[in-house]
Amino acid sequence: MHVENLTLAYGADEPVVTGLTLEVPQGRMTAIVGPNGSGKSTLLRGMSRLLKPQTGRVLLDGKDIHQLPARELARQLGVLPQGPVTPEGITAAELVSRGRHPHRGMFARLTSEDQHAIDEALAAVELADLRDRPVDQLSGGQRQRVWIAMVLAQGTQHLLLDEPTTYLDLAHAVDVMNVVHAAAHASGRTVVTVLHDLTLAAQYADNLVVMGGGQIAAQGRPVEVLSEELLAEVFGLRATVVEVGGAPVVVPDRRVSA
């Protein structure tokens, strides 16, 4: 994916993202981090056609996403938005099966290939035994994992995920990151994911993009990007960065009065 000179705004408001250019490495995992309100979700919307850019374009395998028919785009690009709204009464398996829509005819029943993709996605997030449960009766973390399964079942070459590990306990967050990492490294998919946990992002991402004020503040290998200076500058965070197993770990300084 190639993002070129992208300017994104809501209505007549001042642009949130201005003239942003980003080359997303193919078949690798890119993590986007940055403070609240820095434009991460807006950028993902711009990259997935949920928000029409004021300037610039997004190329998917060399093609402008705004020139592709919606269905064609959905076969190539899977998107998990931040805080998706669950349709009422839908079961886990039904929600995941929606990921197969772009592959099906208008009234076609699920093929064995669809069924296989659904089963595999539910298994990947360890929810096979809850498949017939209504999603609104699941815990926040289980619900989040159903949504991730839906995007995985879509079987797209490109994945855009907005905070897929929110609501997850650390063990399940790591499980999801393993699944997402394997989507890139074992299956050759291109993954872009917004994350808040800097240490988790640094552990998994091949490419780390740090956003600040609608711009890219830094980009590169996590170990090169995540410095104490950058954390102070972009996040206003005082922290110590240590390296464990080649990846940076962020330890925030305690700020307590005596």
Ligand X SMILES: Nc1ncnc2c1ncn2[C@@H]1O[C@H](COP(=O)(O)OP(=O)(O)OP(=O)(O)O)[C@@H](O)[C@H]1O
Binding site for ligand X (CB under 6 A): 10, 13, 16, 34, 36-42, 82
We find the least distance from the C-beta atom of residue 106 to ligand X, in angstroms, to be 32
Q: Supply 153's token pair.
A: 């079942």
In terms of Cβ atoms closer than 10 Å to its own Cβ (0-12, 13-18, 19+), residue 35 is: middle
60-to-2, 63, 160, 191 alpha-carbon distances in Å: 7, 5, 12, 13
Please state the closest distance from residue 196 (CB atom) to ligand X, in A: 7
Binding status of residue 193 toward Mg ion by CB under 5 A: no
Closer CB to ligand X, 9 or 117, in the complex: 9
| Interaction between residue 165 and Mg ion (CB under 5 A) | no
Please say whether the beta carbons of 196 and 166 come within 8 A.
yes
The residue among 26 and 82 lying less far from Mg ion, judged by its C-beta, is: 82
Identify which of residues 155 and 164 has a Cβ nearer to Mg ion in the complex: 164
Q: Which residues, other chains included, contact 151 with Cβ-Cβ below 8 Å and sequence gap of 6+? A: 78, 79, 80, 99, 159, 161
Kindly state the smallest distance separating residue 89's Cβ from ligand X, in Å. 27
42 binds Mg ion (CB under 5 A): no
Nearer Cβ to ligand X (24/43): 43
- Compute the least distance from the CB of residue 15 to Mg ion, in Å: 16
Stretch that binds Mg ion, among 25-33, 81-89, 144-152, 153-161 (CB under 5 A): 81-89
Which residue number, 27 or 56, has a Cβ lying nearer to ligand X? 56
Structure tokens that stand for 140 in this block: 């926040």
In whole angstroms, the minimum distance from the beta carbon of 199 to ligand X comes to 17
Tokens of residue 110, six digits: 């699920």
Sheet holding 63-64, edge to edge: 17-23, 2-8, 55-60, 63-64
What is the distance between the alpha carbons of residues 180 and 174, in angstroms, rounded to a whole number? 10
* Binding residue (CB under 5 A) for Mg ion from 18, 30, 38, 41: 41
When the beta carbons of 15 and 102 are compared against ligand X, the nearer one is 15
**237 secondary structure, DSSP code:** -
User: From the CB of 166, what's the least distance to ligand X, in Å?
Assistant: 9
Radius of gyration of the chain (CA): 19
Task: Please identify the residue of the shown chain whose CB is closest to the bound Mg ion.
Answer: 41
The residues of the shown chain that bind Mg ion, judged by CB under 5 A, are 40-41, 82
